[in-house]
A and B are shown apart, each in its own frame.
Chain A
Amino acid sequence: MNAVEIKDLYKSYEDGKIKALNGVSLTIKDGEFVSIIGPSGSGKSTLLNMLGALDVPDSGSINVAGHDLRTSKKLNEFRGEKIGFIFQLHNLIPNISVRENIEIPMYTQKMSSGEMKDKALKLLGDVGLEDKADILPNKLSGGERQRVAIARALANEPSIILADEPTGSLDSKTSSKILKLLIDLHKDKNVTLIIVTHDMDVAKLADRVIEVLDGEIISAGDESLINSKIDV
């Protein structure tokens, strides 16, 4: 089964002056690890937003995790159940503990406080931060915060993780650790992982690399990187 099926997707801004997506078609299989690369303004983040139902296309069809996002009325429920987001900046809530930050997505589910707490602690264990559960995010290093953000993304057991430059604000050593964690979790939990990145080293870790330029997919397989015209 396919995790993502997109056909002839168009999205423009400022009354059509900026064509962010220009007839994009793409298929991603369940459990696949895909990276999307392209220069700034190429449309890769717009594509990611479309996949996560954070934005809606002007035309075309988009089916993610079995949901037709053009006709679905409850996109927030779709996001809460099917998608886990990881952003370049961790975006943790500063006044609540690390564990409580992981519980935030669980408010959309029918769970008791005890169940939420147990699940959050288990996820913290998965990202190696079980001993940091009760401290505030500002007491953590940048890498640790991003680990918490990964745990938060997994809170509702999504079928797809969308990561937008997840290592963009980290040093190379910490980046490697975070990527290893993401890849391990993707394999362990059989989650489809889609990473948007500028970093070719990060992109190459994926099963498949999708290149985006001027709102179009110019290559949907890693072999195309050999003759890539994109300066990433």
Chain B
Amino acid sequence: MSFLKFILKNPFRRKNSAILAIVGIAIGIIVIVALGGITDGLVNTFEDTIHAGGADFSISGKETGDSAYGTNTIDANWTEKIANVSGVEEAYPIYVVLTSVGDDYMNTLIGIDPEGTTLADISMKEGRIFKDNASEAILGEIYAEDNNYKVGDNIKIDGEEFEIVGIYETGDQNMAGGVFTSISKVGDLMDDEDSISNIYVKVKKGEDPQAVADKIDELYGDDIATITSVMEMQQMGDMLNMLQASTWAISLLAIVVGGLGIINTMLMSVFERTREIGVLKAVGWSNKKILTMIVGESLVITIVSAIIGSVIGFAACTLLGPQMGISPLFTPKIFIQAFSIAIVVGIIGGLYPAIKAMKLPPTEALRYE
């Protein structure tokens, strides 16, 4: 029998105690893996959302508040003014109105230049982008699905027939239920070609979007407001940082609780095996070998816990996550983190009992009843 096999066998001599220790540590690992998967999934979704639209930030009227899709308007000539601000690459106006769409008495109709759709957070699922000033529209996938519209169908918008030329998908829930057409067509329908709702702005390569937005605020802050994706990203980033911090806090808690559990288990084990440790010393085992044995046994418990916890955490998140609208993402980093924590807990938890065992005088250990 190899020394390793001996170490693998020992922790399960006291089955109940070993199982309790494994359950305790595995719960911590489940939480670490599940939270890690959820956090990474949220980060991934968020980054997809942020990077889907090419706009770095949008501009709205002061009274619109912080919504990027408010229906209050600003004068259309703001587009040119913003486009001329240094650092701005492109500026496309959008015109958001609430009007009758299909059978809906009121829905969101978004007008944008066909070329400006690259700055919106949409991507075509089917069909194509509408042409400028044509009676063509594209529908959000939720709206199209809910109302059974397909590409090629007609839809009545504000009393006028439009052809549905495409279906788009988006990570933005506000837009998923809406309809896009060209901004000039919306101007026609509203009989107001001098108003717009927002301006999508993309900055030049190498420019800091926040710095450009600050410049616009400085120049025109009395009349308009900038809503930066960067800011949204920072807010979201803060939230994700909090989530990640809480994952680490829970990891730390798992280390403390798991560590105490394993210390207790291993101390009990050393206590119950006092005579045996005495015999091991008598037959020539060095203190280093006894320390290796006890820390090794502790590691066996925590690594088994890490395997069980990782499998359960992964399975639970994968099965339950989609039902709760979460798409967890499991990267090797999460499992490396879980196993690293298990190993740290194993070493810390085993070290103290191992030192206690090392310090046992052999004569006392052999006399122990």
Contact = CB atoms under 8 A, between A and B. Distances in A.
Contacts of B362: 54-55
Interface stretch (A57-65, A103-111, A204-212): A103-111
A160 B263 CA distance: 38
A100 B6 contact: yes
Interface in B345-363: 361-363
Given A87-B279, A105-B283, A107-B289, A96 B3 contact: no
Interface stretch (A75-83, A167-175, A219-227): A75-83
A113 interface: yes
Contact of B284 (A79, A87, A94): A79
Contacts of A85: 279, 282-283
Interface in B100-157: none
A144 B282 CA distance: 21
B13 A107 contact: no
B283 to A, nearest CB: 4
B9 interface: yes
A80 to B, nearest CB: 2
B246 interface: no
B26 to A, nearest CB: 23
Given A54-B363, A113-B1, A95 B284 contact: no
Nearest to A113: B2
B214 interface: no
A127 B266 CA distance: 35
Contacts of A89: 275
A52 interface: yes
B337 interface: no
A58 to B, nearest CB: 14
A152 interface: yes
A86 to B, nearest CB: 10
A151 interface: no
Interface string A42-60: 0000000100101100000
A100 B1 contact: yes
Interface of A is mostly: helix
Interface in B1-39: 1-3, 6, 9-10, 12-13
B185 interface: no
Interface of B is mostly: helix
B1 A79 contact: no
Nearest to B273: A93
Interface string B197-239: 0000000000000000000000000000000000000000000
Contacts of A99: 1
B163 interface: no
B289 A49 contact: no
Nearest to B281: A76
A41 to B, nearest CB: 13
A96 B282 contact: no
Contacts of B366: 54, 87, 91
Contact of B285 (A54, A96, A103, A108): A108
Interface residues of B, number: 25
Interface string A97-139: 0011001110110000100110000000000000000000000
A156 interface: yes
Contacts of A93: 276
B284 A49 contact: no
Nearest to A117: B1
Contact of A54 (B13, B280, B281, B289): B281
B196 to A, nearest CB: 79
B282 A54 contact: yes
B139 to A, nearest CB: 69
Contact of A96 (B1, B275, B278, B280): B1
Nearest to B289: A107
Contacts of A95: 9-10, 12-13
Contacts of B280: 104
A154 to B, nearest CB: 11
A96 B280 CA distance: 14
Contacts of B283: 79-80, 85, 104-105, 108, 152, 155-156
A116 B1 contact: yes
A156 B284 contact: yes
Contacts of B9: 95-96
A130 B284 CA distance: 25
Contacts of B6: 96, 100, 107
Contacts of B275: 89, 91
B49 interface: no
A184 B276 CA distance: 28
A155 B284 CA distance: 11
Nearest to A50: B363
A76 B284 contact: yes
B1 A108 contact: no
Nearest to B362: A54
Highest count of chain A CB atoms <10 Å: which of B9, B13, B279, B361 = B279
B211 to A, nearest CB: 68
Interface string B266-280: 000000000110111
B67 interface: no
B280 to A, nearest CB: 7
13 contacts: A54-B282, A54-B363, A55-B363, A77-B284, A79-B281, A80-B284, A83-B282, A91-B276, A91-B279, A95-B9, A104-B283, A105-B284, A107-B289
**Shortest 9 CB-CB contacts between residues of A and residues of B:** A80-B284, A105-B283, A108-B284, A54-B362, A100-B1, A91-B279, A79-B284, A85-B282, A95-B13
